[in-house]
Amino acid sequence: MKIIKKIGDLKIVDKERPIALIPTMGNLHAGHLSLVKQSKNLKLTSLVTIFVNPLQFGPDEDFETYPRTIAQDEENLEKENCDFLFLPDKTELLKGIKNLKAPFSNFLCGKSRPGHFDGVITIVNRFLELLNPEFCFFGQKDFQQQLIIHDHLKKNNFSTKLIVGQTIRDSNGLALSSRNNYLSEREKKNASLIYTYLKEIVDQLMQELAKDSLNISTNVLITCEKYKNKFEEEGFKIDYLEILNAKNLKKLKKGDTEILVAVAAYYKGVRLIDNLICDLSSS
Ligand code: AMP
């Protein structure tokens, strides 16, 4: 694996095979590495970026303490046969950068983290402009993020195709996240209740929608309230628990077929997010 630190050196990235851009903030786990694996399976030139992006953190968030484990990340990427690792210099990367506004920011994480997605899209756009990759890889775990990237690519006529990797979980079902490192083993086990409840919500929703006995928005409201209470009883502080149209993050309407069940909750002060998609078109 070649490590690149200067923008000018990106020209060494060979263009013989299509490029897969895989942006990350490092502290790589099996979720990140699954994206690298996927790109390798597709015989692409994998290019991982590690950049703890200051633009996407709010003033009271964990930018300073965010785990930075470059040596270990390099080792893990080598094992996956990653082709390139780009470790940009903050000053060089941010110099003259176009600050962008993200769409879909009035919902979910965008609502509780003002400016977060503006910061994400500003940096991702910089990488896209620098590399003009054939593909970019993002995880479903950050559902709203991949939706915003998808919209950005389309609206700006990038030829880059987005590939969304499924959420990788630990054996209890907790979605892997660098922030899980803030929790003890026992706390992680308890936090896996997020996945258990998400699955229950999807099951209930499928059953209720199949019966079609109640108005859809009433169903959604009742289910969300019930599960918010269940979470709170187990020591979670809910930021949001929402059931929305997965295509546009709008309120669910009769006839919608792709449904997003998304949650953000604090457990022991750590903000965890997860989601499941319920595809009714196949049922
Ligand atoms: P981050 O380093 O948190 O910015 O994440 C970098 C990329 O890895 C994003 O596209 C995430 O959606 C993706 N990612 C993070 N956690 C997971 C996971 N558990 N499974 C799959 N992809 C993930």
Q: How far is the CA of 176 from the centre of ligand 1 (A)?
A: 8
pLDDT digits (tens, 9 = 90+) for 255-270: 888 999 999 999 999 9
Confidence at residue 282, expressed as pLDDT on a 0 to 100 scale: 65
Confidence at residue 281, expressed as pLDDT on a 0 to 100 scale: 78
Distance in angstroms (rounded) separating the CA atoms of residues 216 and 7 = 51
Which one is predicted more confidently, 213 or 11? 11
Confidence at residue 136, expressed as pLDDT on a 0 to 100 scale: 98
Burial 25-49 (b: 16+ CB within 10 A, else e): bbbbbebbbbbbbbbbeeebbbbbb
Confidence at residue 214, expressed as pLDDT on a 0 to 100 scale: 55
Contact call for residues 108 and 144 (beta carbons, < 8 A): yes
Please indicate whether residue 177, judged by its CB atom, sits closer than 6 Å to ligand 1. Answer: yes
pLDDT digits (tens, 9 = 90+) for 43-64: 999 999 999 999 999 999 999 9
Helix-then-strand count for the chain, H and E: 9, 9
Question: What residues act catalytically?
Answer: 32
Closest atom, ligand 1, to C-alpha of 145? 12
CA 20, distance to chain mean position in Å, is 17
pLDDT over 60 at 125, yes or no: yes
Ligand 1 pocket mutation pick from 52, 142, 170 by most atoms within 8 angstroms of CB:
142
pLDDT over 80 at 191, yes or no: yes
What is the residue whose two structure tokens read 């993200």?
102
pLDDT over 80 at 238, yes or no: yes
Please list the residues that pair with 162 across neighbouring strands: 136
Q: What is the greatest pairwise CA distance in the chain?
A: 61
Contact call for residues 277 and 246 (beta carbons, < 8 A): yes
Percent of the chain clearing pLDDT 90 (strictly above): 89
Q: Which domains does the chain have, with CATH numbers?
A: 2-165 (3.40.50.620), 178-282 (3.30.1300.10)
pLDDT over 80 at 93, yes or no: yes
